[in-house]
Amino acid sequence: MANKLSRIPVFYTSAMLAKLKSFSPSAQKPEHVLAAWQAAALPLTVNAVTAAMEHDLCLAHDPAFVRGVLDQTVENGFGDTSPAVAASLPYTTGAMIAAAVRVDRTGSPIDQVRFDILRRRGHGVSDRREHPIRK
């Protein structure tokens, strides 16, 4: 039997946004994507996001790098030490964790495909050359 999608789960909070001037629009992308989906009248369910803890970020990155970015003593992925980026990272990561947990709990192939697409377009394999990643 085909898995029928009635509502699209979205994990979003404005706390994941970082207002900054940058070469990259990434810090504002979640807001614009959600607005576009809402304007298109997609059947969305916006879910709350819980901030990830520092140790969650350390599962993927070197702990010294994580602490430095959060303390604004090490450049983040935007090439600066913005407090706005540091404040947004736990929420961005929390949204990805919540989405992954939902995929794991539902086992939905539709959710898995959506999560894989978002992962490939966002924080994933392509940026591992640019940031120290924990092995």
Could you give the number of structural domains in the chain?
Answer: 1
The answer to whether residue 134 sits within a structural domain is: no
The pTM for the full model equals 0.72
Burial string for 49-76 (b: 16+ CB within 10 Å, else e) reads bebbeeeebeeeeeeebbebbbebebeb
Residue 62 inside a domain? The answer is yes
Question: Is residue 50 one of the residues assigned to a domain?
Answer: yes
Query: Is residue 2 domain-resident?
Result: no
Could you tell me how many residues make up the chain?
Answer: 135
Please report whether residue 117 resides in a domain.
Answer: yes
Answer for the pair 62, 82: CB distance below 8 angstroms, yes or no. Answer: no
Range of the domain at 12: 8-127
Contact 78, 24 (CB under 8 A): yes
pLDDT digits (tens, 9 = 90+) for 32-69: 889 999 999 999 999 989 999 998 888 888 999 999 99
Question: Does a structural domain hold residue 54?
Answer: yes
